[in-house]
Amino acid sequence: MTYTVGSYLAARLSQIGLKHHFAVAGDFNLVLLDQLLTNKDLEQVYCCNELNCGYSAEGYARACGAAAAVVTFSVGGLSAINAIGSAYAENLPVILVSGAPNTDDRATEHLVHHTLATHDWSYQLEIAKKLTCAAVAITSAADAPHQIDSAIRAALREKKPAYIEIACNFAAAPCAAPGPISALVAEEPSDPETLQAAIATAAEFLRGKQKPILLIGSKLRAAGAGKQAIELAEALGCAVTVMAAAKSFFPEDHPQFAGIYWGEVSAPGAREIFDWSDSVVCIGTIFNDYSTVGWTAMPSGAGVLTADQNRVCLEGHDFGRIHLRDFLSGLARKVQKRDATMVEYRRIRARPQPEHPAKPDGKLMRTEIFRQVQALVTAESTVIAETGDSWFNGMGMKLPGGARFEIEMQWGSIGWSVPATFGYAVGAPGRRVIALIGDGSFQLTAQEVAQMIRRKLPVIIFLINNHGYTIEVEIHDGPYNNIKNWDYAGLINVFNAEDGRGRGVRAANGGELAEAIEVAVANHDGPTLIECMIDRDDCSPDLISWGRLVAIANARPPRPQ
């Protein structure tokens, strides 16, 4: 077989384990899309727009470890870049591939469409360089294999997005055949001496502590160190708290799970035990204004050990070039039991209170919605929580072993969850995908429900219609937090058109919600959107407490220079 630049790229995407790539067509990528279609192991999945295409890939990468999105130049690429920012912030290797104008037009005085009407169209590559770990523009078939490989390799190694721009007259140009995939996926081992030194120093640090606690962060997944975190937890026997952005990354049915630590809005008992500890092993953590609740819950000082993807820092030491996996499992073999935080947590942990069902004909309330959603969550479920009060409602869910949870807390873009849910469901067809989405967020990217209908994905969307931007109301209110209401449930029929099997149901009380959930569970031929009607101020108490502290942080006056 003779390879072309496009079929070479397809072969590499398939070799790294992708079964799909997401795409929106445009004249600068049409030949490329044809070339990608020649690979029978890689299915092309279409999106309504390029922002959604990027977010679909972002969601797919959460399910499958990596993803690709293919768009046209500028009008597509610049929309997709927003989602690439998300992939960067959320540590997901998403490969953004953009078609580009014919290189022959570069050498002449020609102006081309989809550009700024200037002769220099390098700007998209320059922008992409800021938001990816590797950005290349292919303008030579001879160099294409090397450029494609280096971009994909960097993305997989760093768990960050990469950008590949392919000029339209090169997509079908013949090029070399791909070599063994190990060239892209083989990892450099940890530096053995640094690893031993880091483990010895950390073991010594923990020997001097009575009450250590573990704090799990979202980079644990990027580091592929979930199993090793459990090994360390079990060797120490201490309590394990998890940051909101990392919910489900440490199994919630593990006996040492002590809840979500999120400062003032932690799970009951988690904050008390965290504050009582004398040292914290932070594993893959990200501390920002939101996760520290307006800088009120920032672990700091000599009692903090930070173990990151490739770096361990503690008490005057900084060890690089080691894998988190190796560090955690090595440390697990060196530490003695330090279970004081677990013993104490068992004493203070709140007994779970059974939630009582609301009256079936009483006005629908948030607590009743999440009581019913909770009953749907099984080991095969993935709960996807959009920015907004859904973050806080999602945090309260108890996840059985095997259940997963996805949240986009660092980038925090409303609208993320609709396409990310679509992409996730494409990548994980065996899982029950449950999305919790606010009305305001849904309005950004609603069209992508049509693609769930097109591919008959039985996603269940709980659309929380509280008539506005409630999370923003709690941070800082004004007329800008009111939105135009939509007939969200009715929208599904619009998207169904003549052949779709999506269902849209509205629930205004507990009885209607229970019936709607029955409809959703029975619908295997498409998504079901359940529009849950609640009052504007029916929000989680945690949102109010968190919003107050974030507002205080936002309102700090400028420091004198």
Q: How far apart are CA 45 and CA 57, in angstroms?
A: 10
Residue nearer to ligand TPU on the CB measure, 201 or 481? 481
Instruction: Measure the CA–CA gap between 68 and 161, rounded to whole angstroms.
Output: 9
Among 50, 158, 439, 542, indicate the residue that binds ligand TPU (CB under 6 A): 439
Sign of CA dihedral 464, 469, 471, 477: negative
Closer residue to Mg ion, CB minimum distance, 318 or 487: 487
Please, which residues bridge with residue 531 across strands? 463, 506
Among 19, 67, 50, 336, smallest CA distance to 207 is for: 336
Among ligand TPU, Mg ion, none, residue 205 binds (CB under 5-8 Å by kind): none
Supply the DSSP symbol for 245.
Answer: G
Point out which span in 207-215, 369-377, 420-428, 460-468 binds ligand TPU (CB under 6 A): 460-468
Of 191, 264, 272, 472, the residue at the interface with ligand TPU (CB under 6 A) is: 472
Among 86, 201, 441, 445, binds ligand TPU (CB under 6 A): 441
Do residues 393 and 366 lie in contact, with contact meaning Cβ atoms separated by under 8 Å?
A: yes
State the binding partner of 387 from Mg ion, ligand TPU, none, CB within 5 to 8 A by kind.
ligand TPU
Nearest to 71 by CA among 90, 105, 103, 96: 96
In the complex, minimum distance from the CB of residue 506 to Mg ion, in angstroms, rounded to a whole number = 15
> What, of Mg ion, ligand TPU, none, does residue 382 touch, CB below 5 to 8 Å by kind?
none
Our finding on whether 464 is near ligand TPU (CB under 6 A) is: yes
From 59, 61, 72, 50, select the one nearest 13 (Cα to Cα).
Answer: 61
φ and ψ of 281, to 5 deg: -100, 105
Cβ distance to ligand TPU smaller for residue 366 or 431: 366
Classify 3 as helix, strand or coil: strand
Least Cβ distance, residue 386 to Mg ion (angstroms): 10
Residue among 461, 455, 462, 472 nearest 543 (CA): 472
Tell whether residue 364 is a contact of ligand TPU (CB under 6 A).
Answer: no
Taking the C-alpha atoms of residue 8 and residue 17, their distance in angstroms, rounded to an integer, is: 15
Among 466, 523, 528, 540, contact with ligand TPU (rule: CB under 6 A): 466
Residue with tokens 């540590």: 91
d(Cα 169, Cα 186) in Å, to the nearest integer?
32
Give the footprint of ligand TPU on residues 387-426 (CB under 6 A). 387-390, 412-415
DSSP state letter for 264: B
Nearer to Mg ion (CB atom), residue 115 or residue 393: 393
> Minimum distance from CB of 533 to ligand TPU (Å)?
13
Number of residues that bind ligand TPU (CB under 6 A): 19
Residue 471, contacted partner among Mg ion, ligand TPU, none, CB below 5-8 A by kind: ligand TPU
Round to whole Å and give the CA distance between 225 and 260: 19
CB 481 → Mg ion: shortest distance, Å?
Answer: 9
Closer residue to Mg ion (CB): 33 or 543: 543
253 forms beta bridges with: none
| Complex with Mg ion: residue 378 or 485, whichever CB lies closer | 485
Q: What is the 3-state secondary structure (H, E, C) of 138-166?
A: ECCCCCHHHHHHHHHHHHHHHCCCEEEEE
- Point out which span in 38-46, 57-65, 193-201, 468-476 binds ligand TPU (CB under 6 A): 468-476
User: Judged by CB, which is closer to Mg ion: 76, or 440?
Assistant: 440
Give the one entry of Mg ion, ligand TPU, none that residue 26 binds, where binding means its C-beta sits below a cut-off of 5 to 8 angstroms depending on kind: none
From the list ligand TPU, Mg ion, none, pick the one residue 31 interacts with, judged by a Cβ distance below 5 to 8 Å according to partner type. Answer: none
Stretch that binds ligand TPU, among 56-64, 331-339, 355-363, 386-394 (CB under 6 A): 386-394
Tokens standing for residue 311: 């770096």
Residues found near Mg ion in the complex (CB under 5 A):
438-440, 466, 470
The residue among 88 and 469 lying less far from Mg ion, judged by its C-beta, is 469
Q: Is 218 helix (H, G, I), strand (E, B) or coil?
A: coil
Q: What is the DSSP letter of 119?
A: S
Which two structure tokens, joined as six digits, stand for 128?
Answer: 């992409």
Question: What is the DSSP code (8-state) at residue 56?
Answer: H
Which partner in ligand TPU, Mg ion, none is near 412 (CB below 5 to 8 A by kind)?
A: ligand TPU
State which residue, 170 or 469, has the beta carbon closest to Mg ion: 469
Nearer CB in complex with ligand TPU: 76/440: 440
Query: How many Å is the Cα radius of gyration of the chain?
Result: 25
CB of 292 to ligand TPU, least distance (A): 18
Residues in contact with ligand TPU by CB under 6 A are 387-390, 412-415, 438-441, 464, 466, 468-472
